Amino acid sequence: MIPWEEKLSIWRGMPTETAEEILWADNYYREELVPLALKRFAKRYENKQFPDYYGMILLLGSSWEDLAFNVGLLSPQNIHVICRKEDMPAYRHLVDNLQLEEDRCLCTTIPEDGVSVLYHVIKKQHDIWDSMGKSAVDITGGDAVMLPAAAMAAAVFDMDVYRLSFEREAKSRKHKPGTERMIRIESVQPFLAP
């Protein structure tokens, strides 16, 4: 078995001048590094207690890998992904790579300026899940508009909010495997009491 640091070194050294080389490097990243990084991430948090989530709403961009860490660790019973139409392939990769049950996964595409649609989707999903159990929102894949909008909606519905923190590789702009940290954003609810 090739050690972790050596696999990272191999990936960093792969040529990425042509479309074919980029594809090879991306496949190596996805098939060799991400699974190991997910295992290391789970091991880092193995002694930490997390709530059991009936559902989790996920903001997804073009990179499914960024969401896989918190979803894989928290293991919600259901997920509802909110993304742009062009990011649907990333949704398929997330479901396939985490081996999620299709009947427990929903995906809603929204337009770029769809904050009101985002609010509607989060409210409707919260109303459905709330009677079944606790739910959360992962804002890792959100863009500059959707991220704060989803966090505000989560605060209104008293849903837990998560985000994945990581370093970026300078060359590929992908996140650097092994640098992932879970951030749970503290609820505003205790501060609202008179």
pLDDT at 64 over 80: yes
Domain ranges of the chain: 50-188
Q: Which pLDDT belongs to residue 177?
A: 87
Chain mean position to CA 90: 11
Read off the pLDDT of residues 119-134 as tens digits, 9 standing for 90 and up. Answer: 999 999 999 999 999 9
Give the separation between CA 54 and CA 62, rounded to whole angstroms: 25
Strand order in the sheet with 181-185: 105-109, 78-83, 55-59, 135-138, 160-165, 181-185
- pTM to 2 decimals? 0.88
Q: Which pLDDT belongs to residue 172?
A: 74
Give the separation between CA 37 and CA 180, rounded to whole angstroms: 8
3-state helix/strand/coil string of 75-139: CCCEEEEEECHHHHHHHHHHHHHCCCCHHHEEEEECCCCCHHHHHHHHHHHHHHHHCCCCEEEEC
Architecture of domain 50-188: 3-Layer(aba) Sandwich (3.40)
Read off the pLDDT of residues 140-194 as tens digits, 9 standing for 90 and up. Answer: 987 888 999 999 999 999 999 999 999 888 777 788 888 999 999 988 777 776 6
Q: What is the CA radius of gyration of the chain?
A: 17
DSSP-assigned beta bridge partners for residue 55: 78, 135
What average pLDDT score do residues 86-107 get?
90
Specify the 3-state DSSP secondary structure of 151.
helix
Mean per-residue pLDDT over the chain, rounded: 90
To which residue do tokens 């890792």 refer? 140
Helix (H) or strand (E) holding 6: helix 4-13
Chain mean position to CA 153: 18
Q: Which pLDDT belongs to residue 39?
A: 93
Q: Which of 119, 75, 110, 68 is nearest to 90 (CA)?
A: 68
Q: What percent of the chain has pLDDT over 90?
A: 64
